[in-house]
């Protein structure tokens, strides 16, 4: 039986030891994202997956693609509090960044998808996001575009245009969207000049405040070694009743509970990566907090019951900026042409 997140949090935050770049709490982001045995990354899959990622024909209106909410030309999100789908409908949650999503313990804010492959199947048939009636109709669109056939054959072989393979291709592309070699990565690898004095102070404050209880590991999103089907989830807010709870409407969405309908899952959320936060405002599951310094202030109070002063907050923010890694260049793909009438048949 899973321990309530608050007990894990309390037990971990009792640890307060001096920070050192060489201790086991600090590790650099790998140069390559892990891939599953049943979907090894290949160049052909990545090429196909990139095309599908940018293709608006996955949506009922032909206007929304993965890229619409997860802009890889910038921070991997859309900078809206919550995203806009087909027919101008507004979703209920903030679009998490796709950068470094390959290192998440699970996908979606509530952790309902165990893998990138399963996550890719969610938006097309969501009535607000892409609005297709079902996944058969979604892949039917792609099957009706002759220009896609050679790309699926190169990636998966003959007669391979299936939704499972489309999801595998998108996941393969997303596993290339990683940002190693940040100032922090270089620092923990031994380059002691990679981070500024303020960033090093912030790293120390980050640890002593207790942030590493949840935000640990190379992507600062907690353990990826979770039981099958279970992401690394934490309660938010842990300490109820702060003014921030009302100000930012933190408990209007019950989180994981919407999936399981289990009382113990209320307000459980997948722990988000802290990498490239400079690019992903606004923050939190509902996009209610606009600035990074305010996000740090709110998290310290709601998760650790600590009131940080301005100097501590600025040091931690400086450290978080050291987690911004260089983005691999993205060149938009050329997509196959649309057969006449395709977008009016579904």
pLDDT in tens, 136-182: 999 999 999 999 999 999 999 999 999 999 999 999 999 999 999 99
What is the pLDDT at residue 229? 62
pLDDT, mean over the chain: 92
What is the pLDDT at residue 69? 97
Instruction: State yes or no: pLDDT of 80 exceeds 60.
Output: yes
186 in Cβ contact with 281 (< 8 Å): no
Question: What's the rounded mean pLDDT across residues 189-194?
Answer: 97
What is the pLDDT at residue 223? 78
**Strand ranges (DSSP E) for 74-170?**
none
pLDDT band at residue 341 using 50, 70 and 90 as cut-offs: confident
pLDDT band at residue 340 using 50, 70 and 90 as cut-offs: confident
Domains 5-30+182-321 and 43-178+329-344 share a fold: yes
How would you class 41 by CB atoms within 10 Å of its CB: exposed for 0-12, middle for 13-18, buried for 19 or more? buried
DSSP state of 279: G
| Distant-in-sequence contacts of 5-13, Cβ < 8 A, 24+ apart | 5/233, 5/234, 5/235, 5/238, 5/268, 6/235, 6/238, 8/213, 8/234, 9/213, 9/214, 9/234, 9/235, 9/238, 9/303, 12/210, 12/212, 12/213, 13/210, 13/213, 13/304
What is the pLDDT at residue 148? 98
What is the pLDDT at residue 228? 60
Name the helix (H) or strand (E) containing 233: strand 233-235
DSSP 122-141: TGGG-TTTT--S-HHHHHHH
Separation CA 175–CA 172 (nearest Å): 5
Write out pLDDT tens, residues 5-64: 433 343 333 333 445 555 667 999 999 999 999 999 999 999 999 999 999 999 999 999
Give the CATH architecture of domain 43-178+329-344. Orthogonal Bundle (1.10)
Poorest-pLDDT segment among 111-125, 216-230, 234-248, 256-270:
216-230
- Catalytic residue numbers, as ranges: 129
What is the pLDDT at residue 260? 96
Poorest-pLDDT segment among 25-29, 126-130, 293-297:
25-29
Q: Where are the domains of the chain?
A: 5-30+182-321, 43-178+329-344
Name the percent of the chain lying above pLDDT 90: 88
* Domain 5-30+182-321 falls under CATH 1.10.760.10: yes
What is the pLDDT at residue 19? 54
Question: What's the rounded mean pLDDT across residues 293-316?
Answer: 98
Q: In this predicted model, which residue has the larger pLDDT, 252 or 225? A: 252
């Amino acid at each position: 039986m899973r321990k309530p997140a608050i007990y894990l949090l309390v037990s971990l935050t009792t640890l307060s030891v001096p920070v050192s770049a060489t201790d086991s709490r600090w590790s650099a982001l790998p140069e390559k994202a892990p891939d599953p045995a049943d979907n090894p990354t290949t160049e052909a899959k990545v090429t196909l997956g990139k095309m599908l990622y940018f293709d608006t024909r996955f949506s009922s209106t032909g206007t929304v693609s993965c890229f619409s909410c997860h802009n890889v030309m910038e921070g991997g999100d859309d900078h809206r509090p919550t995203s806009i789908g087909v027919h101008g409908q507004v979703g209920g949650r903030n679009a998490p960044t796709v950068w470094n999503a390959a290192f998440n313990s699970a996908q979606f804010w509530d952790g309902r998808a165990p893998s990138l492959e399963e996550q890719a199947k969610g938006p097309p048939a969501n009535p607000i996001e892409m609005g297709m009636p079902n996944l058969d109709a979604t892949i039917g669109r792609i099957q009706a575009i002759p220009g896609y056939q050679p790309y699926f054959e190169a990636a998966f072989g003959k007669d391979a245009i299936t939704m499972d393979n489309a999801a595998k291709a998108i996941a393969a592309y997303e596993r290339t969207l990683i940002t190693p070699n940040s100032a922090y990565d270089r620092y923990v690898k031994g380059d002691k000049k990679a981070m500024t004095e303020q960033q090093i102070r912030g790293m120390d404050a980050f640890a002593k405040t207790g942030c590493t209880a949840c935000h640990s590991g190379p992507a600062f999103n907690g353990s990826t070694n979770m039981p099958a089907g279970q992401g690394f989830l934490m309660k938010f807010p842990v300490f109820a009743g702060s003014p921030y709870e009302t100000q930012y409407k933190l408990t209007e969405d019950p989180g994981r509970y919407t999936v399981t309908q289990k009382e113990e899952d209320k307000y459980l959320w997948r722990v988000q990566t802290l990498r490239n936060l400079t690019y992903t405002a606004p923050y939190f599951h509902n996009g209610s907090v606009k600035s990074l310094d305010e996000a740090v202030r709110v998290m310290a109070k709601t998760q650790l019951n600590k009131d940080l002063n301005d100097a501590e907050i600025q040091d931690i923010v400086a450290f978080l900026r050291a987690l911004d890694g260089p983005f691999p260049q993205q060149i938009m793909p050329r997509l196959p042409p649309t057969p006449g009438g395709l977008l009016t048949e579904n």
